[in-house]
Amino acid sequence: MVSLLKTEWLKVKKYNTFWILSLLYIVSIWGLNYIVYNVQQNIYDKKKTGGVVNMIIGNPPYAFPKVWHMTAYVSSFLLFMPGLLMIISITNEYSYKTHRQNIIDGWSRTQFITAKQLLTIIIAIVSTAAVFLSALSFGFMEGSETLSFDNLEYILYFFLQTLSYTSLALLFGVVLKRSGIAIGVYFLYTVVIENVVSGLLNHYADYSGRYLPLKSVDNLIPFPVFENMTRQFLKQPNFSVQLTLSLIYLALYYYATKRKFETDDL
């Protein structure tokens, strides 16, 4: 496994596109949260609202311990980025035909695809670390409470969520092979298609839209503000069902990707 990762490292080490996008993505995690943080600061400005907001919403979402939940939720809007990195990594192999050469040179098909699946985990770990550090910095910037690790489980859910996005991206890459179409389909699916289908299902089929592949993992990190109110109006997802479904979908992505690569003509 170490040698697979070492070889994968040799492939990306000098790949500028990968590093530029990764860097921008990590900066954007902090940046997007900073935008929302600024909005929060304006709303909670005592001079304007005189503490009324505090009474309705509760403590600011970027204060400990809520900040873990809030940062994970806001950062999840950038999840198409780690998927994009993963698609670039796999479709490059197809366009350079290096997936063939790697096999010719002596990797088994299983080794090749395992190396890529390990990469989905690495990307998810790095994303999660970036979210953790951003949350920590906003918690301290807010400064309303002392450091607290309550709610830290949301960072773990964020890891699971990122892993689902990167592994689904890998599956799209392995099935579609060409970068342009894989990126287009992945982007539209994650940003538009699943949300539309989910909305329709929620409206016409008793909220079953929440059981769709990405929705099940998205729902592990619900909208972090007005929770009491939404609880009254909406039928709440069952957490353990959502978690179990997310893990089943994840296993399916891995299995389908592996099987596709192992049996295809390359």
Partner 1 sequence: MPEKVAENFTLIKFSTNTIHMQPVLSLQAISKRYGNIQALNSISFDVPEGSVFGILGPNGSGKTTMLGIILDILRADAGSFSWFGTSPSAESRKKIGALLETPNFYHYLSATDNLNITQAISGRGSTPEIESVLETVNLAQRKYSKFSTYSLGMKQRLAIAGTLLGNPNVLVFDEPTNGLDPVGIAEIRQLIKDLAKQGKTIIMASHLLDEVEKVCTHVAILKKGVLLTAGAVDEVLTNEDIVEISASDLTGLEIIIKEFNGVTNVKQDGNHLHVFFPINTANLEEINRYCFSKDITLSQLTLKRKSLESKFFELTNN
Contact residues: partner 1, CB under 8 A: 3, 6-7, 10-11, 13-17, 92, 96-98, 100-109, 111, 263-266
Instruction: Find all residues with CB under 8 Å of 59, minimum gap 6, and list them.
Output: 66, 144, 145
Q: State which residue, 32 or 175, has the beta carbon closest to partner 1.
A: 175
CB of 95 to partner 1, least distance (A): 9
The amino acid occupying position 159 is F
In this structure, are residues 64 and 114 in contact, taking their beta carbons and an 8 Å threshold? no
Identify which of residues 3 and 144 has a Cβ nearer to partner 1 in the complex. Answer: 3
Q: Nearer Cβ to partner 1, position 150 or 264?
A: 264
Give, in order, the Cα–Cα distances in Å from 240 to each of 6, 43, 208, 217.
Answer: 37, 34, 15, 11
Cβ closest to partner 1, residue 14 vs residue 47: 14
Residue 117: CB minimum distance to partner 1, A: 17
CB 94 within 8 A of CB 242: no
Min. distance of Cβ 255 from partner 1 in angstroms? Answer: 19
Closest CB to partner 1 among residues 92, 246: 92
Distance of closest approach, residue 107 Cβ to partner 1, in angstroms: 5
